[in-house]
């Protein structure tokens, strides 16, 4: 049963020749890490913004837990590429922000914040100012903030897109560990094929002009990682490489079709 | 602005390689002291040489003597301190009113852009006018009491505060607002926890600019039947060619304005330490 569900979603920005999304249907269940992969401009952010409630569908429906989504809400926390942290709060204050908005008492808040910071490897950074952090650390704070808020799904818009390759891989592993512990549905968008294959339990491949889903996959690499296999072993596995090349070919094909 | 100093990375080249052309590098405050010192020296040299008559430029020593008599005996039935206090009171009253009205109004405009189209013409109409131009109207409408004086200064401060607040609210990152909304923020919470703090650096800058505009209106305001105030003191002295008092009045205004500006910069650093940081 899907927790977050879109049916026949079409989004047409005013003044644009083509819809950004056309007839997209998709469900996210609570135990799933769903990745939308596609080149930039294929409507990934638009899809995420509809799920988050920032944009209303032109046609089609969005439902959370069986009820129509009418705007942003605490059960659907968003993690952005550029974290969107609040610089007037320290790291702990940022992580506690969602709980504070919901009126959770301070003592309880502190306990949750400490636990969440621990999970993302920032146990000692609670008192740091946001601008003292590296990009990777800031992204961890963004994830911790979404986790601490007790949301039921996490929506992540290219969360590691601005990080260097090394930090990016670290963050992918961190995300898988955190996801396994939190047992929350995660919807993540990326244009990085390796990232998509490594993280996803479900993967949709998207294509532009108009934005649509062209392929569904169910990779199992994240389970292998969580079962103890190393990242390098997984990403250099022939099976991983074959899938990666297939996806790349498929992406290139849709790009060419669009150009034609 | 001083915040920039912290934004730019500190050069890490080894000290031996830095070219100093044989001059020992000075700290910024040392440069400033040097600049003020040379100005004083020039003043002293001009008046001591007798090139400029004392009527046009009294000597520093004469001004100092006058300062003593101003502090002790006063001028126009009030000591320097009393003149200063009268002006400060007007300034602070006008500032409070301008912040109390300008900030909420600026936030409203920022949140409801339609309001802007309505208020913009009014503000842009009066903002470029020299206060002396509408001073007669204010006197006709509000009389010659304190209200008119404070109102004139208030109008000068209001425009920058209002414009800066509106700009500040409009430039709060939409990502931050979206993040807060997706964490369950209500509209009120969004305003209180995201928009207000996000606009604070701009608001404080607006207040700094506003205070500058306020000081430059002070003399005009104290043209209105004042009996006390630094602006009044300067004007009365000018009528009797009391150049020494005029000079003292100018220095007093400059000093007070400078101290207030420093205080505000300090406040800005304490309240909005993230201002100017790459985020
Ligand atoms: N606010 C908007 N107004 C008009 N067009 C938009 C807007 N946002 C996105 N688009 C267009 O919709 C398409 C999909 O954009 P987006 O969802 O951001 O794609 P992605 O995240 O995959 O790069 C692009 O062609 C983009 O130019
Ligand atoms: Mg995008």
Ordered by start, the domain boundaries in chain A are 4-75+152-259
Smallest CA separation from ligand 1 atom 7, residue? A13
Which residue among B175, B182, B272 places its CB closest to the CB of A72?
B182
Name the nearest CA neighbour of B94 among B48, B156, B140: B156
In chain B, the residue whose alpha carbon lies closest to the alpha carbon of A55 is B178
Instruction: Among A46, A51, A204, A255, name the best residue to mutate to test ligand 1's pocket (greatest count of ligand atoms within 8 A of Cβ).
Output: A46
Backbone φ and ψ for A241, nearest 5 degrees, come out as: -65, -40
Tokens of A158: 């290219």
**pLDDT tens for each residue of A165-183:** 999 999 999 999 999 998 8
Mutational test site, ligand 1, from A12, A17, A19, A20, max ligand atoms within 8 Å of CB: A20
CB atoms within 10 A of CB A221: 22
SS3 state at A235: helix
CATH class as words, domain A4-75+152-259 = alpha beta
Say what the pLDDT of residue A150 is: 82
Residue whose token pair is 């034609």: A260
Distance to chain A for B194, nearest Cα, Å: 8
Position A219 pLDDT exceeds 60: yes
> Chain A interface, mutation test: which of B182, B192, B279, most A Cβ atoms within 10 Å?
B182
Task: From A15, A17, A19, A43, give the residue whose CB has the most ligand 1 atoms within 8 Å, as the site to mutate.
Answer: A43
Cβ atoms of A69 and B173 closer than 8 Å: no
Residues A60, B91: Cα–Cα separation, whole Å: 59
Q: Is the peptide bond before A210 cis (omega within 30 degrees of 0)?
A: yes
Residue B178 near residue A83 (C-beta atoms within 8 A)? no
The whole-number average pLDDT for the span B225-250 is 92
| ipTM confidence score | 0.90
A127 touching chain B per CB within 8 A: no
Residues paired with residue A90 on neighbouring β-strands, in sequence order: A129
Task: Tell me which fold the domain B67-271 belongs to.
Answer: MetI-like fold (1.10.3720)
* pLDDT tens-digit series, residues A224-241: 999 999 999 999 999 999
Which residues 174-233 on chain A approach chain B with CB closer than 8 angstroms? none
State the Cα–Cα distance between residues B215 and B206, nearest whole angstrom. 14
Instruction: Give the Å distances, CA to CA, from B137 to B131, B132, B141.
Output: 10, 10, 6
Q: Give the model confidence (pLDDT) of B143-159 as tens digits.
A: 999 999 999 999 999 99
Cβ(A19)–Cβ(A10) under 8 Å?
A: yes
pLDDT category, B132, cuts 50, 70, 90? confident
Query: Could you please report the per-residue DSSP string of A169-224?
Result: HHHHHHHHHHHHHHT-EEEEEES-HHHHHHH-SEEEEEETTTTEEEEEE---HHHH
User: Which sequence spans correspond to the domains of chain B?
Assistant: 67-271
Q: Quick count: other Cβ atoms within 10 Å of Cβ B17?
A: 6
Residues of chain B positioned with their CB less than 8 A from the CB of A54: 178, 181
Show the ligand 1 pocket: residues with CB < 6 angstroms. A 13, 16, 20, 38, 40-46, 211
* DSSP character at residue A54: S
Give the model's confidence band at A9: pLDDT under 50 very low, under 70 low, under 90 confident, else very high: very high
Say how many Å lie between the CA of residue B65 and the centre of ligand 2: 71
Contact residues for B176 (Cβ-Cβ < 8 A; gap 6+): A84, A85, A86, B194, B198
Q: Report, as an integer, the average pLDDT of A66-93.
A: 93
Q: How many CB pairs under 8 A join A and B?
A: 76
pLDDT the model gives residue B20: 63
Q: What angle do CA B194, B184, B100 make, to 5 degrees?
A: 30
The residue with tokens 């396994």 is A180
Kindly tell me if the per-residue pLDDT of B1 is higher than 70: no
> For residue B13, what pLDDT band results from cuts at 50, 70 and 90?
very low
CB contact under 8 A, A101 and B272: no
For residue A79, what are its two tokens?
């993690």
Closest to A87 measured CA to CA, from A143, A34, A128: A128
- Which residues from B are below 8 Å from A when comparing CB atoms? 173, 175-176, 178-186, 189, 193-194, 197, 200, 272-274, 277-279
Residue B16 predicted with pLDDT over 60: no
How many angstroms from the chain centroid is the CA of residue A66? 21
């Amino acid at each position: 049963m899907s927790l977050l569900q879109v049916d026949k979603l079409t989004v047409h920005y005013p003044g644009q020749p083509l819809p950004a999304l056309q007839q997209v249907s998709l469900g996210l269940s609570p135990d799933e890490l769903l990745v939308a992969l596609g080149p930039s401009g294929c409507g990934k952010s638009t899809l995420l913004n509809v799920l988050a409630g920032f944009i209303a569908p032109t046609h089609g429906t969005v439902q959370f837990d069986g009820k129509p989504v009418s705007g942003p809400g605490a059960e659907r926390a968003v993690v952005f590429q550029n974290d969107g942290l609040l610089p007037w709060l320290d790291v702990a204050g940022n992580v506690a922000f969602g709980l504070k908005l919901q009126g959770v008492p301070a003592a309880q808040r502190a306990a949750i914040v400490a636990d969440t910071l621990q999970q993302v490897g920032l146990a000692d950074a609670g008192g740091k100012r946001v601008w003292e952090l590296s990009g990777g650390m800031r992204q961890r704070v963004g994830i911790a903030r979404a986790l601490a808020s007790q949301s039921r799904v996490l929506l992540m818009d290219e969360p590691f897109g601005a990080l260097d390759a090394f930090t990016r891989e670290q963050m992918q592993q961190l995300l898988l560990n955190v996801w396994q512990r939190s047992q929350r549905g995660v919807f993540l968008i990326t244009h990085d094929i390796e990232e998509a294959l490594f993280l996803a339990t479900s993967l949709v491949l998207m294509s532009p002009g108009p934005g649509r889903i062209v392929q569904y996959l169910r990779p199992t690499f994240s389970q292998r990682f969580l079962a103890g296999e190393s990242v390098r072993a997984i990403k250099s596995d022939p099976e991983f490489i074959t899938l990666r090349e297939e996806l790349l070919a498929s992406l290139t094909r849709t790009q060419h079709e669009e150009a034609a | 602005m001083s915040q920039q100093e912290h934004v730019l990375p500190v050069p890490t080249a080894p000290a031996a390689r830095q070219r100093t052309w044989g001059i020992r590098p000075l700290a910024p405050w040392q440069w400033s002291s040097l600049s003020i010192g040379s100005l004083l020296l020039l003043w002293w040299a001009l008046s001591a040489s007798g090139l400029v008559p004392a009527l046009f430029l009294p000597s520093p020593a004469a001004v100092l003597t006058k300062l003593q008599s101003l502090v002790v005996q006063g001028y126009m039935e009030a000591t320097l301190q009393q003149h200063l206090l009268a002006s400060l009171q007007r300034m602070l009253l006008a500032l409070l009113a301008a912040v109390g009205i300008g900030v909420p109004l600026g936030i409203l405009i920022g949140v409801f852009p339609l309001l802007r189209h309505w208020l913009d013409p009014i503000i842009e109409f009066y903002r470029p006018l020299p206060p002396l131009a509408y001073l007669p109207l204010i006197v006709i409408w509000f009389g010659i009491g304190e209200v008119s004086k404070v109102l004139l200064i208030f109008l000068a401060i209001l425009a920058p505060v209002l414009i800066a607040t509106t700009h500040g609210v409009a430039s709060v990152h939409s990502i931050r607002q979206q993040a807060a909304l997706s964490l369950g923020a209500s509209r009120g919470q969004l305003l209180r926890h995201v928009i207000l703090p996000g606009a604070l650096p701009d608001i404080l800058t607006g207040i700094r600019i506003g205070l500058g505009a306020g000081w430059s209106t002070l003399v005009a305001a104290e043209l209105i039947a004042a009996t006390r105030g630094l602006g009044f003191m300067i004007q009365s002295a000018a009528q009797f060619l009391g150049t020494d008092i005029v000079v003292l009045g100018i220095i007093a205004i400059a000093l007070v304005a400078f101290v207030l500006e420093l205080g505000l910069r300090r406040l800005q650093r304490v309240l909005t330490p993230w201002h100017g940081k790459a985020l």
